Chains A and B, each alone.
Chain A
Amino acid sequence: QKTKNKLKNPFLKVEDRRRRYRPFYLQLSSFPVVNYSNPKPYSPFETERKNIIAHKQIENKQRNPANNDKGKGPVQLPAKHKKRKGYCECCLKKYDDLQIHVESEQHQNFAQSSHYQVVDDIISKFSCNFVELSTPKIKRRKCSV
């Protein structure tokens, strides 16, 4: 029982010429066009005006970040702890929240294992000509926890 399916225009279909793999395709509502009337420097493929306006606002904000040279850093992002999804190459595992995964027992076991020898081998070859700072360390410690 074959289910056939005709692709609707406009579409793009890509397949392996040896036909060993699943084809992949895209059906668009309209094929992209170069839009010369988008203002510089926006992409000629930018379609949403909203984006152009939104970008502009972001840009304006970024143009006058008070100063990077204050310990504060450029922009104070609200609600920092966004759940970061991803994949852990150490545990070979998908995670929904980076923070929680990194604190998990499995990951902590890996983190404290000898797997990092390959990194340490390289580190051991570096020579360091940075000078140890004398005191600010303690200060830092205090305000951090």
Chain B
Amino acid sequence: MKYDHSKKLSGASTDIEQLYQAVPQLANVFRIKGKIGEGTFSSVYLAIAQLRGGHEEKVALKHLIPTSHPVRIAAELQCLIIAGGQDNVMGVRYCFRKNDHVVIVMPYLEHESFLDILNSLSFEEVRDYMFNLLKALKRIHYFGIVHRDVKPSNFLYNRQMKRYALVDFGLAQGTPDTKIELLKVIQSEAQQESCAWNKPQITLGSQVSVTARAPRQLVRQPAARTANKRPCSLSQTQIKQGQKRKEGPESLHVQRSVFGERNFNVRSSASQDNSTVKLIKQPRVTDIAARKILAKKKTTSAVTNGLVKKAASSYPTNVTCDCYAKDRVCSVCLSRRQQVAPRAGTPGFRAPEVLTKFPNQTTAIDMWSAGIIFLSLLSGRYPFYKASDDLTALAQIMTIRGSRETIQAAKTFGKSILCSKDIPAQDLRMLCERLRGSKTSFDISTGDGQINLSQEPALQAEIFNISDPALQTSKKHLQYQKPSCHERDGLVIRTSEKPADLGWDKVPDEAYDLLDKLLDLNPATRITAKDALLHPFFKNIKQ
């Protein structure tokens, strides 16, 4: 066991050694300095390379988890090559592979920690930030890429140089008309299903036997609770095609009806309440899988296959009950199969249609995420939403955007939401200003202002409950931060700037109007990146 030794070692230096071992070619070209990022599907290292011209260059080495499917890896590269390298989208320099270990070499952009700078950004910087984020989104959406994981840590920002880069296409999916060929292969099962629903494809026959094996693959629940989940996985069919690759690249995306989809929904957030879970007999996973596949066959059954038909009819998947839109569930509705929809991404950044499992997700989900970033920037809060599961996240969205509004919008994409409480929508300006504590006589140096007391007298009692230990904490926290300065290459940026100095005392209505359009609960009417760039909020921006 040669790994025993290294297991005992700890820290990033071990990781670096392991990376050199996994991909020995790297040692010929790079001096790896350290690990600068770690996610569910990759680790990123900073390295120095020597260029032909003679000078050195810093690069980011992204080491993909060796369980990534080659087609997914190739698709990520294709995104970087085709869409990247301009308009604030990260590009790619090179790629190394040894067996299952793939390392993508990208230009290194030194960047800020979002949390560190959030409350020292001027309003003008926020405007620039959003403009540049939208520029990147316009670019990738033009190519039919749905990023799925737009969040500050995937949008690198170099404040001093005013440089930006959207990174990480590891969760990306293609729109139906994507220009990234390999993303067509990585369509989610849900997409395929709805695709088949619209225009039945002749894909049965030989595929049936493949499908029959799928239940085995489906025996799994969300393994580790991780922020990111891959939206889908690749088909066994397709892997088989990979083995006889002679058929050429087209074959990779001609047939795509059978997938070893990772069914993240096998255990839904519903299973969280123990009292009811006991009553909900958790069907055996294989049953779910079987049902799932049969139902899928149904959708493609325009092409009739006797065998499939027979099998499908033996399972009543469509029995109705009277629980619909009522505050109850029963064994009938709970025995239906779960809907499968992509939900990759990070909880607090998922759009309502992702949270409610709408299968036909579009580039609009990235626009929602951009709206969440904007919400953080305007409110000074990050992360803004704090939820461990999808429905809690949805409840938090309703608290901001209103329960009726959310329910109304969900109807447009085929979802019924029932909420025991009626919550009014918040005025975005008031919300953000209260959370930011700006537009006031408020002065950080006095150490006691989260909100503007003069503006909100009614809240004094509620918030300044003097014995509240949370408040004590908050005071201490402010005091702790107060004297701190960020020293960056001789430039000192004070964090204790008064709101007026940073432009926060006169945030224009356009800002909140754009925020409202990004956080449109209805994905069909949500503003696109292209339109957002033309929004009056960006009038006279220096580009």
Q: A residues bordering B, Cβ < 8 Å?
A: 1-28, 31-34, 36-47, 49, 52-53, 56, 59, 62-63, 68-81, 84-96, 98-99, 101-103, 107, 110-123, 126, 128-133, 136-137, 140-141, 143-145
A24 touches B324 (CB 8 A): no
Contact of B29 among A36, A81, A102, A130 (CB under 8 A): A130
Assess whether B314 is interfacial by the CB under 8 Å rule: no
Question: 26 A-B Cβ contacts within 8 A?
Answer: A7-B276, A11-B420, A14-B418, A15-B416, A18-B414, A20-B336, A20-B339, A22-B334, A23-B333, A23-B334, A26-B270, A26-B273, A34-B399, A37-B470, A39-B478, A74-B34, A76-B11, A77-B12, A79-B10, A80-B10, A86-B224, A87-B220, A89-B233, A94-B220, A133-B27, A140-B17
Most chain A beta carbons < 10 A, residue from B9, B27, B321, B434: B27
Q: Which B residues lie within 8 Å of A132 (CB)?
A: 28-29
- With the chains together, A62 CA to B36 CA distance in Å? 12
Q: Is the interface of A mostly helix, strand, loop or mixed?
A: loop
- Chain B interface, >50% SS class: mixed
Interfacial chain B residues near A119, Cβ < 8 Å: 70, 73-74, 77, 95, 97, 102
Contact assessment for A87 and B414 in the assembled complex, using a CB-CB cutoff below 8 Å: no
- Contact partner, B217, options A12, A84, A93, A98, Cβ 8 Å: A93
Q: Is the CB of B395 within 8 A of A26?
A: yes
Bound complex: CA of A118 vs CA of B249, how far in Å? 9
- Contact check, B20 vs A40: say whether CB atoms are below 8 A apart: no
- Name the segment of B134-142, B234-242, B503-511 touching the other chain: B234-242
The one of B100, B252, B329, B436 in contact with A110, judged by C-beta atoms closer than 8 angstroms, is B100
Of all chain A residues, which has the CB nearest B406?
Answer: A12
List the A side residues contacting B337 at CB < 8 Å: 21-22
Task: State which of A41, A43, A62 has its C-beta within 8 Å of the C-beta of B119.
Answer: A41
Asked whether A87 and B233 contact (CB < 8 A) given A14-B356, A73-B16, A137-B28, the answer is yes
Residue in A18, A34, A38, A141 whose CB lies within 8 Å of B470: A38
Partner of A117, one of B77, B245, B463: B245
A6, A96, A119 interface centre (most CB from chain B within 10 Å): A119
Q: Does B435 make an interface contact (CB < 8 A)?
A: yes
Q: Is B286 an interface residue (CB 8 A)?
A: no
Contact A133 B50 (CB under 8 A): yes
Interface string of B250-294 (1 = CB under 8 A from A): 001000000010100000111011011001100000000000000
Given contact pairs A27-B276, A88-B67, A115-B242, enumerate 12 new A-B contacts (beta carbons under 8 Å): A3-B279, A7-B276, A9-B421, A14-B356, A14-B391, A14-B416, A25-B391, A32-B399, A86-B67, A89-B230, A119-B70, A129-B52
